[in-house]
């Protein structure tokens, strides 16, 4: 599947939020328990910039099939060469290689962005994402046991990382 990566525009924020909200009920990829609003994501969106912490949309046949973003890790200056990667893909496009293409694309942008390490926060029970990142050379850098509670069930969070 051919994917184009483009910087996300503010006009695309509603679609970005729609894709994010779509995964919430699965309890696999986010600790949000209820859908978020576009208004609540305005400040989050404003934090992204093309020079150091971009947000890209993934387009297939001019349709937004997902998004990938890089956010600052831990917000302290000593961590400026490390970013957190987040990938969200529309349900209609999952399991078609877009996650792998997103990681490959971002990996190619890291030098330009002044980054040499990525971290991903992935629930231990999110086996598809765990498999994707491990297949791409990420390893478990940390395990936070039972730190989230969703629908009465405790869930663990893994921190996967990779140096480039």
pLDDT digits (tens, 9 = 90+) for 72-126: 999 899 999 999 999 999 999 999 999 999 999 999 999 999 999 999 999 999 9
Q: In what order do the strands lie in the sheet with 4-7?
A: 4-7, 55-60, 63-72, 82-89, 117-123, 153-163, 139-150
Q: For residues 149-159, give the mean pLDDT.
A: 97
Give a yes or no: residue 164 inside a domain.
no
48: left (phi over 0), alpha (psi -120 to 50) or beta: beta
94 belongs to a structural domain: yes
| Residue 134 domain flag | no
Strands 139-150, 82-89: pairing is unpaired
For the chain, what is the mean pLDDT? Answer: 97
158 inside domain: no
pLDDT of residue 75: 87
* Residue 134 confidence (pLDDT): 98
Q: What is the pLDDT averaged over residues 28-51?
A: 97
Confidence bin at 1 (pLDDT 50/70/90): confident
* Average pLDDT of the segment spanning 13-32: 97
In the chain, how many domains are there?
1
The answer to whether residue 137 is domain-embedded is no
Please give the structure tokens belonging to residue 161. Answer: 């990382």
**Residue 104 domain flag:** yes
> Is residue 138 situated within a structural domain?
no
Q: Which domain holds residue 91?
A: 4-118
In this prediction, residues 125-134 reach a mean pLDDT of: 97
CATH of residue 66: 3.40.630.30
Closest CA to 11 of 64, 54, 87: 64
> Average pLDDT of 56-73?
97
**What is the pTM assigned to this prediction?**
0.96
pLDDT of residue 40: 98
In a domain, 54, yes or no: yes
Average pLDDT over residues 129-158: 97
């Amino acid at each position: 599947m051919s994917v184009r990566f483009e910087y996300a525009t503010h006009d695309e924020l509603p679609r970005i939020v729609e894709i994010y909200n779509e995964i919430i009920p699965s309890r696999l990829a986010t600790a949000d328990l209820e859908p978020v609003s576009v208004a609540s994501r305005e400040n989050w969106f404003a934090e992204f910039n093309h020079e150091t912490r971009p947000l890209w949309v993934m387009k297939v046949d001019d349709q937004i099939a997902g998004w990938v973003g890089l956010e600052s890790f831990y917000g302290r200056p000593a961590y400026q060469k490390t970013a957190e990667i987040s990938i969200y893909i529309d349900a209609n496009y999952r399991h078609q290689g877009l996650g792998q293409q997103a990681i490959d694309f971002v990996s190619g942008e890291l030098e330009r962005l002044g980054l040499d390490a990525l971290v991903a926060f992935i629930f231990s029970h999110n086996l598809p994402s765990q498999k994707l990142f491990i297949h791409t050379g990420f390893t478990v850098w940390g395990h936070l046991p039972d730190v989230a509670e969703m629908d009465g069930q405790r869930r663990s969070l893994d921190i996967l990382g990779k140096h480039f």
